[in-house]
Structure formats: structure tokens, C-alpha cells
């Protein structure tokens, strides 16, 4: 009887926790799943995936873009920031979508095959030692009493060893081209991208610097109501635009293996936006909602009960039940989203800023 009871419990568990069945409602073009491996560079992988979908939308062409080229360029920028602020700044592996966009503006884009960031053809990306070396070097440079112009050359020499030297031109379609010209040729203009968030401690429909540790570059976000953030995401997807997502994945309901992202004991979906706004404020200010991870929203789906989910492309290889894709509930999105990035043409007229800050700054 005991054996039969154990078998019965296993069967019930398999039924209860088995793979959910989803039906796509919107599923936009996106490129193959990538793996950030042992690096803290989800921001580069998520935004590269987002930009790759933008190229598919704009040019109907598929490219595998180099994430490590952008990571390397942002390390250079972070190092200058850290040094000039005398060590009173964040220096980490993390980053945000606007860092990737800023790197496009400064240094362009490269295809993966032109810059893999693995100078010795390593199988696995592992930045543990790299970060320790860079961090130690920078701290020593700041503490030195005899500052020279050489410190940045030394920093770049380390990057050369771990990433390989940056090409200042490469062959594309039989011609030599620079990374900046390549970005232009595939239809990517950094001025076209905007980040939106929803917080209670800043004025609505204004730009402000979001206070999160990885925002070392003081990137500006446009503030909207939480219901508008969701409506804007849905509007973008319905109109053929994918969305770069920044949010918190530390919740127990984040199913790394199940492929489903939901709140613990989510129950009946209740979109009481007043209560959600209050809860978001509390969780943001008590560090229960932080910018843990960036991913790429490529569509929407419903489960067998009709419940709606966002289709999210992750950068952990084929992890999870759905080969690297995850399904996030709308309630999770409402409570755990830090920010989104979209193309300016995807903006709803009702919340569209009078002036895009990108136009004013450049």
C-alpha cells in the first residue's frame, strides 16, 4: 500500500506541475536563443536580441550581433566614470538597455562572427576572473597618488587580453566598413529608442534619472502610470514592435526550470492599479523589487484556461521547459517590471512625450 501511495503522489505531482500548454496570440520575429553563460551581462544579450528583432522588422534581415563588443565598450565607459568620480561610482558586470544604445552611438555594432570576445576560442564565456582583475586595477589606479595618462591604456590592455582587440573596420558584403556605418546600414539609429518606467516618487510624464545601482551613466527614463506601462507594452506588441524588459526575477514564482514566471500564490488576476501602485512603491523602496535581470518580450500567449502571459526570450540557453523562452503573467509584469525600452514609433499617442529627450541631447 505504501508503494502504491508513493506512485499515486508522483502521478499527481506530474499532473500538477507538468508543462503548461500555451497558445500564441502574438509572436513576433526574433533570432535564436543565446547563452550569456558565466557572465553578468544579461543587459547586453537582452538588448542585442531586441535590436536584432528591430533589424528584422526594419530590414527583414537576420543578424547575430556581438554582445561582447558592446560589453567591452561599456567597460571602457564605466572605467572612465569610476576613475573621474574617484571611485565613488558603481563598477560592475551589470548594465541597462540604454548602455547598449549608448555604445551603438559611440562605437557602432559588430556581427558576432567579427567579434566573439573569446580571443583564445574558449568554449564558455566566463567573466569572473576578468571582473576581479578590472576591479582591482581600477581601485589601485584611483588610490595611486601619482596619476598619469597611462592608466586607461593599461585598462584597455587588460580588455585586449580577455576580449581580443577591437576591429576598427571589417568586411561586410564584400566591402570594408566601420562598426558605426554598419549600424546605420542595418537601420539602427540610437536616437529612436526610449525607456519608460512607473514609479511614485517622481512626477508623471517627465524624464528623470532612475535610482538603481546599474544606472551608472544616469540614464533618463520617462515616467508613466503602471496601467499605462502595461498598455504601452501591449500596444507595441500588437503593432509589431518587440520590447526590452528590465525587472526583478528573485521571486519564488520565477520558474527557472518550469519556464513560467508568476507571483507566488497569484490566484485570481486582479488589476487594481491603485493597490498595485502602492505595492510597487513599497517593494521598490524596500529593495524587494530590483533590476535583477533583463530579457526580451517577443509576444503574448494564453494558457489552457485563457490566462494571458508575455512571451519572454531569455539568455540562459535552452533552460526551462520551453527551450529558453519563458511565459510571464501580466500580474508579475505589473508588480516586478522596473522599465521597458521600445522604439519611439511604438509609443501610444496618449502618453507620447512632447519632446523626445534623445533629440534634445544630441
3 occurs within a structural domain: no
State the pLDDT at residue 362: 59
85 occurs within a structural domain: yes
Q: Name the nearest CA neighbour of 196 among 168, 163, 232.
A: 232
**3-state DSSP of 93-148:** CCCCHHHHHHHHHHHCCCEHHHCCCCCCCCCCCECHHHHHHHHHHHHHHHHCCCCC
Question: Where does residue 205 fall: left (phi above 0), alpha (psi -120 to 50 degrees), or beta otherwise?
Answer: left
What grid cell was written down for 116? 566573439
CB atoms within 10 A of CB 140: 11
CATH number at residue 48: 3.90.70.10
- pLDDT tens-place values along the chain, 362 residues long: 443 333 333 333 333 445 789 999 999 999 999 999 999 999 999 999 999 999 999 999 999 999 999 999 999 999 999 999 999 999 999 999 999 999 999 999 999 999 999 999 999 999 999 999 999 999 999 999 888 889 999 999 999 999 999 999 999 999 999 999 999 999 999 999 999 999 999 999 999 999 999 999 999 999 999 999 999 999 999 999 999 999 999 999 999 999 999 998 887 677 899 999 999 999 999 999 999 999 999 999 999 999 999 999 999 999 999 999 999 999 999 999 999 999 999 999 999 998 888 887 75
146 occurs within a structural domain: yes
Task: Find the helix or strand (DSSP H, E) in which 209 lies.
Answer: strand 207-209
The pair phi, psi for residue 53, each rounded to 5°, is -70, -35
Would you call 58 exposed, middle or buried from its count of C-beta atoms within 10 A (0-12, 13-18, 19+)? Answer: middle
Domain extent for 343: 20-351
5 occurs within a structural domain: no
Measured distance CA(283)–CA(286) in Å, rounded? 5
Cross-strand pairs, 296? 244, 313
Angle between helices 67-84 and 42-59 (to 10 degrees): 130
361 occurs within a structural domain: no
CB 337 within 8 A of CB 247: yes
User: What's the angle, vertex CA 124, arms to CA 126 and CA 106, rounded to 5?
Assistant: 65
CB 91 within 8 A of CB 82: yes
State the pLDDT at residue 187: 97
12 occurs within a structural domain: no
Q: How many domains does the chain have?
A: 1
4 occurs within a structural domain: no
2 occurs within a structural domain: no
Measured distance CA(62)–CA(56) in Å, rounded? 6
Contacts of 290 (CB under 8 A, 6+ apart): 212, 248, 250, 338
Amino acid at each position: 500500500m505504501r508503494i502504491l501511495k508513493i506512485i499515486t503522489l508522483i502521478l499527481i505531482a506530474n499532473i500538477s506541475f507538468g508543462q503548461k500548454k500555451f497558445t500564441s496570440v502574438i509572436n513576433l520575429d526574433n533570432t535564436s536563443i543565446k547563452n550569456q553563460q558565466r557572465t553578468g551581462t544579461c543587459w547586453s544579450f537582452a538588448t542585442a536580441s531586441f535590436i536584432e528583432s528591430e533589424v528584422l522588422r526594419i530590414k527583414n534581415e537576420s543578424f547575430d550581433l556581438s554582445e561582447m563588443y558592446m560589453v567591452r565598450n561599456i567597460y571602457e565607459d564605466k572605467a572612465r566614470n569610476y576613475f573621474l568620480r574617484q571611485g565613488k561610482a558603481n563598477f560592475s558586470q551589470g548594465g541597462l538597455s540604454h548602455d547598449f544604445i549608448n555604445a551603438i552611438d559611440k562605437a557602432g555594432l559588430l556581427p558576432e562572427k567579427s567579434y566573439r570576445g573569446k580571443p583564445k576560442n574558449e568554449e564558455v564565456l566566463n567573466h569572473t576572473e576578468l571582473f576581479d582583475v578590472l576591479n582591482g586595477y581600477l581601485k589601485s589606479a584611483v588610490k595611486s597618488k601619482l596619476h598619469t595618462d597611462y592608466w586607461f591604456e593599461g585598462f584597455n590592455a587588460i580588455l585586449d587580453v580577455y576580449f581580443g582587440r577591437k576591429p576598427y573596420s571589417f568586411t561586410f558584403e564584400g566591402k570594408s566598413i566601420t562598426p558605426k556605418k554598419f549600424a546605420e546600414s542595418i537601420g539602427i539609429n540610437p536616437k529612436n529608442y526610449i525607456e519608460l518606467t512607473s514609479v511614485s516618487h517622481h512626477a508623471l510624464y517627465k524624464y528623470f534619472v532612475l535610482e538603481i545601482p546599474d544606472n551608472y551613466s544616469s540614464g533618463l527614463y520617462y515616467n508613466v502610470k503602471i496601467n499605462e506601462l502595461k498598455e504601452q507594452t501591449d500596444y507595441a506588441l500588437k503593432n509589431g514592435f518587440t520590447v526590452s524588459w528590465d525587472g526583478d526575477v528573485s521571486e519564488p514564482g520565477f520558474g527557472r526550470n518550469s519556464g513560467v514566471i508568476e507571483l507566488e500564490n497569484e490566484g485570481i488576476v486582479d488589476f487594481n492599479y491603485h493597490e498595485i501602485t502602492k505595492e510597487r512603491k513599497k517593494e521598490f523602496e524596500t529593495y524587494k523589487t530590483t533590476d535583477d535581470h533583463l530579457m526580451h518580450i517577443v509576444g503574448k500567449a494564453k494558457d489552457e484556461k485563457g490566462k494571458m502571459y508575455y512571451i519572454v526570450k531569455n539568455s540562459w540557453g535552452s533552460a526551462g521547459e520551453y527551450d529558453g523562452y519563458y511565459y510571464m503573467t501580466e500580474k508579475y509584469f505589473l508588480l516586478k517590471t522596473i522599465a521597458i525600452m521600445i522604439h519611439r514609433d511604438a509609443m501610444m499617442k496618449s502618453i507620447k512625450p512632447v519632446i523626445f529627450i534623445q533629440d534634445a541631447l544630441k
